[in-house]
Amino acid sequence: MTFRSKAAAFLGYRTIPTTIITVLSYLAILLALRITDKLEDVPKPHKQGGLNITEAYHDLQMITAQPHPYNSHANDVVHDYILGRVIGLANEYPGVEVILDNISNVTFATGAPAGIYFEGTNILVKIEGKDDNYHTTNASDIETGSVLFSAHYDSVSTAAGVTDDGMGVVTLLQLIRYFAEHRQRRTAVFNINNGEEDGLNGAHAFLEHPWAKLCDSFLNLEGAAAGGRPILFRATSTAPVRALRNVAHPHSNVLSADAFSRGVIRSGTDYSVYTGLDAHPRGMLPSLQQNDGQETFRMSDPRGGMAGLDLAFYKGRSRYHTKYDSSQYTLGGERSLWAMMDAARGIGEGLLSVPLDKGARPDGKRIINGDQGVWFDLFKWQIIVFKLNTLLTWNIILLVMGPILLALLVFTERFFLLQRRPHDHTSHEGNNSQRPVVAGSQPSTVPGNAALNPEGTGQAQESSHPHLWYFSRHSTSSVPRLNAGAPASEINGATTIPPVHVNHDLASGNGHGHGHTGTQKHWALEYTDNIWNHAKFWFALAVVAGLLAGLTAVYVAINPFSVYSSPYVILFSFISLAYLGLVYTITFPAWVPFYHSKYGPTTAGSLNPMQEHKQAIFLHLYVFTWILLVIATVGITRVDPGVAGGYLITIWNGLLLIACALCVLEGLTTRQYSFEGTGEYPAGSDDGELPRRSHRHVEDAGVEADERTPLIWHGANEGRAPEAEEDSHESLGTWWWLPQFLVSVPIPVILSAQVVMLLLDAMPQSLADGGKPLGVYIVTALPAIFIVLPLAPFADKLRPYRLLSMSIGLLLVLTTLYAWLRFPFDIKIPLKVYFQQRVVLPADRINGSSLVNVAATVSVAPIVKTALSGPEMYVRDLIPYLPSARGQTPLCEFESLRSGLLTCEWDSSSLMPSPGRVAPPPGAPPGRRPRPDAAPVKWAKDELLKASVERTSGTTAQITVRGQNTRNCRVYFESHAIADFNIWTNNAESEDDLSLGRRLTPHGEMQEGYEIGPNGVNELRLWSRSWDREFGLDVDWRSFANKTSPSETLRGRISCNWNEYESALVGNIPRNTKLPNVQLVTVAAAKDTASAKVPAYEEALTFLPDWVTLTKYTDGLVEAWAPFAI
């Protein structure tokens, strides 16, 4: 054999070459995705490009020494540390301005519906740009555009906050130093904000500051998991996304933005505030006002409106907001921190070096580019960015022009194939063309594209019966097989076939001599074969979908949370089942026992059956993606915002169009198939794996055996010269499959695999936050189908390789059993459950309430309950672990706040919480000194709050509330929604002047875009920057009062929250830490201090099993309330 024929033996369209290249391709893709998903090592100090990982990690340790939520004294410690660091940087570098924003207060309403009053303690830094065009403070100037960099320094009460958001904060500290040393064109503004975890309050407060009006774009750093490589969670438009081109290892996919838009990911970040995403659309949602007793409506005009990016961690969500969000449990450790620092620097340089694309918002007030974009990375190496309108344009082109082009190509192919047919010079009188060779006749010389002449003359006979399949227990043939790869006429000009005895009736298709009936049978088999040839793809697709649906149902029934900890095991079980279902359905019935394919003489000038089958599958796979492309296009045009994740379908459909064109070229350039004898299809002689035939087969063929007859009959190779054997492997037809494979398989598989990796790293552990496991299994199964489906056209060559099928079958069995039997949680991937302790105080704690007289007749002892929320099938089993719950039957009900979770509560009066007491020293910053309206108050034992209510008219009331050692209280309204509320601000010098110094915040000062909607609010959340603040407010429920009885009772609850507990108060920061221009005030340095205690939480931390971890249920670990009625 020549070198070319040897190469063709390895790369030709045969079972072993096709299998090897397929396996190697998938392994290479898997290996590349795995390697590029790993974090890079931290570079040496001299290669960090102006950043300092050592300094940043030291800052991280100082900031995350203990939990530091807004409502904690540790929060003040962190605040002072960060303030000292930025003041030191401002002293070191000129052009750096620092503001401690203890002035910005904000009142706004959310869609909960809840009204919020918040006093900010943000730390703001500004670094002037070197381009004079960006120094103006005129916000209406189109050239004015500062870039905002944002991260929050508060944590939740149950976590130290390393990834959420300590890494973001220390990254900003590094960027301040970097941009102070490397001045950029545009001005950089840094908002290191407080209160994000309790409702994005710090970002709302920033919008009240004048610097917010200077910014037209932003980068928000966040952490929604436990580390790893940060991802571009979402972006407003293509303009800011292009800044990722400056990042060495960009990681992004527009599917995460789609998930946020559809509510699949329910975490909120400051991105929503800066973009105005949560604001009422202008002119859409009116807000209620009172004007001379008449109800009027004022259109909202939302603030925010910036273009920007959300960069966040997303892996390991089971550790999110738990004790595992600490340095020793962070995925990647310092490498994770470096990944965020490096990405933020690259994005920051990109945003600061060029102005944002010009484009005015509909209200004309702010600069924003509204072009929705499409973006995704390739192996964390290259970012692909283009506009959604561009994707829509390509979709329309492919939907319209693709089918037209493909139809023209197929028509051209068929036309040329018909032109290639030789002219039929044989008489068609009678049924002579069906007459077999008669025994004893002379050897026949048969031209390349001819059927056997019944007279043995070798004249061409065109058969009306293409290859036919049917079941038989014999593998004999009445006609030997000619070389399908090359016409017999090219093999020394002719092929000599030995005389063969054939029964005339059998050749006619009827053992009893009824030729007409045999012809009908052949026609029926041919018709059935043609239908199956075009229907088997759709049938296989349905079989795969059904198999995966069945396996999903079994997972959900047996071990629904297996995907929580073993998502990739589930994925490989889905891929294995999908592969086996696909290839075995498409190649049916070739693999059925005792089945042998028989081909009658095929139509002269037609394609090889292998080519025909591959081409048919390609065609139907293209039709399938065309249908998906229609759906994707509807998602762009009919959904707001448009679904951009359909880029995968667009690319796949375009590649399949190219592959189908290659199939047409294959048909036009390869030699045509003449006719076949028997050979097991598809793994028969076409692969060089001819079935062996015994001496009995020779006898069946009608060949007289003598002493020269070989022991093993090679009937299928009879008349096949060695030159023909080589030529069949060298022919162009054996090579066409390779470009078809390279075009249609690797790229769709890579894109689908990247999508499924993103989904499986982000979604499964969100089950602890609520939701049904079924949804996660579905989003795992769909990409599994897309990963396997590109192999459909090559199933004929993959299925016969039994070792591959057996290996995949074994993988299916092992992964399925593992997922069924493994307990889904452990210390590395724990089950996250929600904790809260609730204290119900007697009604006499609220002065002025009409319930006081009723409360006097019943017990006045507080009712203390502990509540755990989690998945129903596990949370009940956790209660007996806790000593305080033993012997009790907990009350359980399903959650309204988090769908799918069950909340169980029980009496824990023996574990009464204590708020503690911290008196700030005389040198404390102004925001922590006692306010005039917070004069020393005597607190009784177990007294947690003081409150009063007073009705001022038929539909208005005044409410006051003060909590001990807290700066967060709430008011719930249960009988009526509130149409309006005003918060008191006090400028009085003494307690006696309180009534004179009170100033009511008018309704017009509510933040634009976040006014109260027509349905009012049912809850007010109050936040103060000072401790022991007495909140005063007026409420009005006129719009929701009963018109026939306007003076009916207003009922509700008044509560306060606490977040501090003893184990969280253990200080890890050295006392009297000195920082430039700031004296760090630590809790340990304060006098008159009593530690806060939440013994129920400490009990849960101690006694729950190690596969369970705790997180906060809501703002406070402890909430105490008392009912009221007026």
Q: Which are the catalytic amino acids?
A: 196
DSSP 3-state assignment of 1078? Answer: strand
3-class SS at 106? strand
- Residues 817 and 813: their CA atoms lie apart, in Å, by 6
- What values do phi and psi take at 54, rounded to 5? -65, -45
Is the torsion defined by CA of 612, 796, 737, 494 positive or negative? Answer: negative
* Residues paired with 747 in a beta bridge: none
Task: Output the CA angle 1033-1036-1040, nearest 5 degrees.
Answer: 145
What is residue 911's three-state secondary structure?
A: helix
Cα(851)–Cα(844) distance, rounded to whole angstroms?
A: 7
Q: How many CA atoms lie within 13 A of 866 on its CB side?
A: 26
Q: CA nearest 588: which of 623, 625, 613? A: 613
> Distance (Å, rounded) from C-alpha 841 to C-alpha 852?
12
Task: Give the Cα separation of 593 and 582 in Å (integer).
Answer: 19
* Angle between helix 802-821 and helix 515-558 axes, rounded to 10 deg: 30
Rounded CA gap, 269 and 152, in Å?
10
The four Cα atoms 817, 823, 827, 831 give a dihedral, to 10 degrees, of 120
Question: Nearest to residue 267, comparing CAs of 234, 227, 235?
Answer: 234
* Angle ∠(1032,1036,1040) on CA atoms, nearest 5: 145
CA angle 440, 444, 445 (to 5 degrees): 170
Residue 853, Cβ density class (10 Å: 0-12 exposed, 13-18 middle, ≥19 buried): exposed
Question: How many of the other CB atoms lie within 10 Å of CB of 128?
Answer: 18
CA proximity to 190, closest of 68, 104, 82: 82
Give which of 586, 598, 1109 is closest to 874, Cα–Cα.
1109
What is the C-alpha to C-alpha distance for residues 327 and 1014, in angstroms, rounded to an integer?
46
Query: How far, in Å, are 55, 152, 244, 370, 960 from residue 248 at the CA level?
Result: 22, 26, 9, 27, 55
Please identify which residue in the block is written with the tokens 């026609």: 523
Do 171 and 212 touch, CB atoms closer than 8 A? no
* Side-chain half-sphere CA neighbours of 776 within 13 A: 31
CA 670 to chain centre: 45
Q: Does residue 1005 come out as left (phi exceeding 0), alpha (psi in the -120 to 50 range) or beta? A: alpha
Report how far apart, in Å, the C-alpha atoms of 345 and of each of 177, 218, 751, 797, 1119 are.
11, 13, 27, 50, 41
- Residue 4: burial class (beta carbons within 10 Å; 0-12, 13-18, 19+): exposed
Grouping H, G, I as helix, E, B as strand and the rest as coil, residue 39 is: coil
- Cβ atoms within 10 Å of 986's Cβ, excluding its own: 20
Length of the chain: 1126
Q: Which two tokens stand for residue 810?
A: 């074994």
End-to-end CA distance of the chain: 102
| Site of tokens 């991105």 | 271
Cβ pair 1059, 1023 in contact under 8 A = no
